[in-house]
Amino acid sequence: MRLADKVIIITGSCTGLGKAVARRCVAEGARVVIHGLEKEWGEATVAELGAGKAVLHVEDLPQEGCAERLVALAVASFGRLDAVVNNAALVAQGNIHTTDLAWFRKMLEVNTLAPFALIKAALPELRKVRGCVLNIGSVNAWSGEPNLMPYSVSKGALMTLTRNLGDTLMREDGVRVNQINPGWVLTENEAQRKRDHGLSEDWYADLPKVYAPAGRILWP
């Protein structure tokens, strides 16, 4: 119960890694705001977590005012806000030949600017409780696969934002900001993408070492 009575916003938590984070937070005593684009999956997640422990907000993060609405929902539902997990992300292929400026801007809008907007909107509440922010990055933040160029840049920018705010907000507001950069995670959406590409149901069981040095990819 290390998170007893804490209130946490977790973006992209209807599925995958975000849903796993939400489950663990509630198991540790927290109440959570579930967020995503998949209304039915979100409702199922809230029902699984239990009455009074979760509320759902369905909206595309780059929408004007979405960050403010998430913060307002947390405070209205549970009376406070202790932490933000910026997990939601747009994951798609692209390289220098296939990426145009409009697509690149979209990637940055979702993966870098939306987390910034939520941190900014949440800061007045986080300051009250010396709260914290966890940004979910990617191993691709360090350099990136050739076919994940815009995604990798967006996560690299998020990593720099994390370092900048981790210094500034701790000194000025007592708010911690950290980032983790996981490797390849087998989420529901990732599994579906590979099925759409024609791979078998157990495609992840025998991956080349260059993609999975440990012989497997991560589960949420």
Q: How far is CA 26 from CA 22, 46, 81, 128, 218, in A?
A: 6, 11, 14, 22, 22
132 by DSSP, 3-state: which? strand
Alpha carbon 101 to chain centroid, angstroms: 24
Active site residue 151: yes
HSE (CB half, 13 Å, CA atoms) of 18?
Answer: 30
Which one from 13, 151, 156, 162 is the annotated catalytic residue?
Answer: 151
Q: CA 132, CA 170: separation in Å to the nearest integer? A: 9
Tokens of 63: 């929408």
Tokens of 99: 């990426």
Q: Which residues of 171-194 are buried (b: 16+ CB within 10 A; e: fewer)?
A: eebebbbebebeebbbbeebeeee
**Residues assigned a catalytic role:** 151
